[in-house]
Structure 1
Amino acid sequence: MFHFLVDELFKIAILEDVGIGDITSEIIIPQKSIAIAEIICKENMILAGIPFLKRFFSILSKYMESSNFFLKENYNDGDFIEKGSVIASLKGNARFLLAGERTALNLLQRLSGIATFTREFVKKVEDLPVKILDTRKTTPGLRFMEKYAVKIGGGSNHRFALYDAILIKDNHIKIAGSVEDAVIKAKKNNIYHKIEVEVKNIEELEKAIRAGADIVMLDNMDVETMKKAVEIAKDKVLIEASGGVNLDNIREIALTGVDFISIGALTHSAKAVDISMKIREVL
């Protein structure tokens, strides 16, 4: 399913950026001109997105009816790349290369930015037994690729969507009536999934444990309260910390003994890295 979604997304991106054609290239570049280009990183980064880059150009080649395109990557996803390095070399119709340039770079910049940002968090706690998780705070339509980039950066994926895991949040609890009622209803009507519930204080944590939750998310708790929560939850439920996590406080949070730390910023606040494409030779 995800491969189909990616292909459809790329088709939409091509219609958005190329549309009926690149009018600048059509009036300047000879129709049969062949060129060699390089994709260059302009800052240190963790690379992510090469498989999607290849797929994008494959879709574009069908759209523009352009054949004889070649792409040679010099690095693999997950590699640390230093500023100035050539990520990949491309050869093909010059109009084709220029038509694909912006979307291809946007893709690599976004995904590599997420992977690079994720790696910063992971390195802060790499010696501790805690998993760094992403969230559903992703760009609509790009979730599959953005969560892929988190994994490339060394993080792990939380639930992908509403349909693949039970996570009882504050609004569910409000409608259900209480933490206990929400968890009990979930257990009664579910036989496949572990039950995770969000709590805001120690009292709600204790209620979630008594009701039979499998995982408890500590929502925006201070570090001292987290420590107490971990002591109470030991050997009873797994604990996830969430809310307000940043590079300055993640290690202190991890040292409380939580099992997971989820960070929406991995995808919603990652800065795109700087990558460019340069035509090196015209054949």
Structure 2
Amino acid sequence: MTRLSSVAEAVHLLRAHGLDLAGVEPVVVAALSEDLGGHGVLPAGAGHGVDVTSVATIPADATATAEIIARASGRMAGLPVAAYVLLLVCAEAGPVEVDLLADDGTDVVRGDVVLRVRANTRELLRAERIALNLLTLTSGVATATAAWVAALEGSRTRVRDSRKTVPGLRMLQKYAVRAGGGVNHRMSLADAALIKDNHVIAAGGVVPAFLAVRREFPDIPVQVEVTSARQAHEVVAAGAVDVLLDNMASAEMAAVMAELGELATFEASGGLTLDTAATVAATGVHFVAIGAITHSAPILDFALDFFD
């Protein structure tokens, strides 16, 4: 069990998990603004800045103890983020204790208690939905990733994410991929080059595109997307060491790997499903790129229940 009682401790835990506060804090602040902005259903200014239900029904000095409980089975991710939300929101109203009863990257089953918190009741309810929204989303991504890891078990192929993430949540979703056992691709367009079909058309060919990136950014990693064995041979001959095989049939991928697999790293992408994971892995590719683990992962449901 890990016990936290201050925002500083929560920030330290985020960093220990490879999460940058500069990426987490704006997400939480934006979520708080959404919840307390007073816009939309209510007339402008009505209830602005407060949780009108809690203010009307709960004394300002009331405290409560609550637990976050898994409502489904899956892979855990995002507990340090949930703890940060609870401490950030509740700490100004009085003492807060947050106990983490599970670890990110481990599996939970329905009914498991993963977090216990004691804090000011009003503030706890203000933080509840934000903490749960982020926890259910990140755990959903981790669970989807873990399913791919299981489907690829026994092969050397690893699942890798993409930039197909919810705007503003990329850092959290990529963290969740790691918690699920996956591998991160580039975080941003500046981290590495990925030459895709539109770049190839603009540059006049896959090899000219590769050489253009090499000239302009000689120290930046470059991945080249190809759609045929011929293109794969051309770019590897030109010096490419990271190749993405896009929407290629398994037989063609297997042929590419037999001929070039020792000369570069290869990633399969496009139209991949859990049902075909083993077949794709059997070609020998090093990675499969799965956008669905971030853009289409179902949530893993959690609930916050008072118990006193």
Whether these two folds match at TM > 0.5 is yes
State the match for 1:9 in structure 2: 27
Task: State which of 147, 160, 164 in structure 2 corresponds to 1:137.
Answer: 164
SS of 2:234 mapped into structure 1: helix
Task: State which of 197, 217, 221 in structure 2 corresponds to 1:170.
Answer: 197
Offset, 1:235 = 2.2
State the Cα deviation string for residues 239-264 of structure 1 (Å, max 9, x = none): 11011111101111011001111100
Offset, 1:119 = 0.5
State the match for 1:102 in structure 2: 129
Residue segments in structure 2 that go unaligned for 5+ positions in a row: 1-18, 38-48
CA distance in 2: counterparts of 1:189 and 1:195, whole angstroms? 12
CA distance in 2: counterparts of 1:242 and 1:120, whole angstroms? 17
CA distance in 2: counterparts of 1:89 and 1:266, whole angstroms? 28
Please tell me whether the aligned partners of residues 11 and 59 of structure 1 are also in contact (alpha carbons under 8 angstroms). Answer: no
TM-score w.r.t. the length of structure 1 is: 0.95
Offset, 1:232 = 2.5
5 Å matches for 1:18-37? 18-19=36-37, 20-37=49-66
Q: How many matched pairs?
A: 279
SS of 1:156 mapped into structure 2: coil
Moved more, 76-85 or 182-191: 182-191
State the match for 2:233 in structure 1: 206
State the Cα deviation string for residues 203-243 of structure 1 (Å, max 9, x = none): 21122122211111000111111111112213222111011
TM-score w.r.t. the length of structure 2 is: 0.88
Query: In structure 1, what residue type is equivalent to 2:246?
Result: D
In the alignment, is residue 51 of structure 1 matched against residue 80 of structure 2?
A: yes
In the alignment, is residue 197 of structure 1 matched against residue 198 of structure 2?
A: no
SS of 1:126 mapped into structure 2: coil
Please tell me whether the aligned partners of residues 89 and 124 of structure 2 are also in contact (alpha carbons under 8 angstroms). Answer: no
State the Cα deviation string for residues 114-139 of structure 1 (Å, max 9, x = none): 11111110011122112210000000
State the Cα deviation string for residues 50-104 of structure 1 (Å, max 9, x = none): 1111222233236xx3221111111010111111111111111110111111111
Task: State which of 201, 211, 228 in structure 2 corresponds to 1:184.
Answer: 211
Offset, 1:2 = 3.5
Task: State which of 147, 160, 176 in structure 2 corresponds to 1:149.
Answer: 176
Query: In structure 2, what residue type is equivalent to 1:206?
Result: H
Please tell me whether the aligned partners of residues 194 and 214 of structure 1 are also in contact (alpha carbons under 8 angstroms). Answer: no
State the match for 2:104 in structure 1: 77
CA distance in 1: counterparts of 2:84 and 2:305, whole angstroms? 20
Query: In structure 2, what residue type is equivalent to 1:10?
Result: V
SS of 1:248 mapped into structure 2: helix
SS of 2:307 mapped into structure 1: strand
Q: Give the ranges of 4+ consecutive aligned residues of structure 1 lying more than 3 Å apart after TM superposition.
A: none
State the Cα deviation string for residues 2-54 of structure 1 (Å, max 9, x = none): 42131122111111113401000101111111111111101111110011112
Please tell me whether the aligned partners of residues 7 and 59 of structure 1 are also in contact (alpha carbons under 8 angstroms). Answer: no
CA distance in 1: counterparts of 2:256 and 2:53, whole angstroms? 61
- Percent identity of paired positions between Structure 1 and Structure 2: 37
CA distance in 2: counterparts of 1:202 and 1:9, whole angstroms? 43
CA distance in 1: counterparts of 2:85 and 2:205, whole angstroms? 47
RMSD, matched Cα? 1.3
Query: In structure 2, what residue type is equivalent to 1:278?
Result: D
